[in-house]
Amino acid sequence: MYTEKVMDHFQNPRNVGEIENASGTGTVGNAKCGDIMRIYLDIDENQVIRDVKFKTFGCGAAVATSSMATEMVKGKTVQEAMEVTNKAVMEALDGLPPVKVHCSLLAEEAIHAALWDYAEKNGITIEGLEKPKSDISEHDEDEEY
């Protein structure tokens, strides 16, 4: 059901991990719906994304879109990163099954949330960037078995 590119990015995801003292982080999604994405950005003084890492809880499409989106924003300026839309990510993956399109939206939202965090911390505005509406529940149950 997934394209070869989706399978490749799912099985060998690029840029998995965390960044200590990241310039910006963003977490979007909701554990209830089964998708959470967290993006870490390391941005230099010229507003170029030097490094990017992600962590994702979700299906194959969610992991693959996270991986592809991180690849696409790496090395770009924050303004250029705004052009990495869900459509662009989906096209780069040679498409997603219709029921998985919402996963690609999440990747775009996660990048925007991380950029927003960066912009807020540095008191700058990024053209076209709106405050993300993150619906992640902060108090997930940590029941142990």
Cα 143 to its chain centre, rounded Å, is: 27
Which member of 56, 65, 86, 104 binds another protein (CB under 8 A)? 56
* In the complex, minimum distance from the CB of residue 36 to another protein, in angstroms, rounded to a whole number: 5
- Active-site residue, 59 included: no
| Helices marked H in 12-143 | 60-73, 78-81, 86-92, 101-122
Counting contacts by CB under 8 A, is residue 133 touching another protein? no
Counting contacts by CB under 8 A, is residue 14 touching another protein? no
Q: Answer yes or no: are the C-beta atoms of 106 and 125 closer than 8 Å.
A: no
Q: Compare residues 5 and 48 and give the one whose CB is closer to another protein.
A: 5
Q: How many Å apart are CA 34 and CA 64, to the nearest integer?
A: 15
Helix (H, G, I), strand (E, B) or coil at 67: helix
Which member of 5, 14, 55, 74 binds another protein (CB under 8 A)? 55
* In the complex, minimum distance from the CB of residue 125 to another protein, in angstroms, rounded to a whole number: 27
Q: Compare residues 82 and 111 and give the one whose CB is closer to another protein.
A: 111
- Active-site residue, 33 included: yes
How many chain residues interact with another protein (CB under 8 A)?
Answer: 34
Cβ-proximal residues to 101 (8 Å cutoff; 6+ apart), any chain: 86, 90
**Number of Cβ atoms within 10 Å of the Cβ of 73:** 25
Residue among 41, 72, 59, 54 nearest 13 (CA): 54
Which member of 22, 62, 69, 111 binds another protein (CB under 8 A)? 62
In the complex, the residues that contact another protein under the rule CB under 8 A are 2, 7, 10-11, 13, 16, 18, 27, 31-38, 54-63, 99-100, 140-145
**Which residues are part of the catalytic machinery?**
33, 103
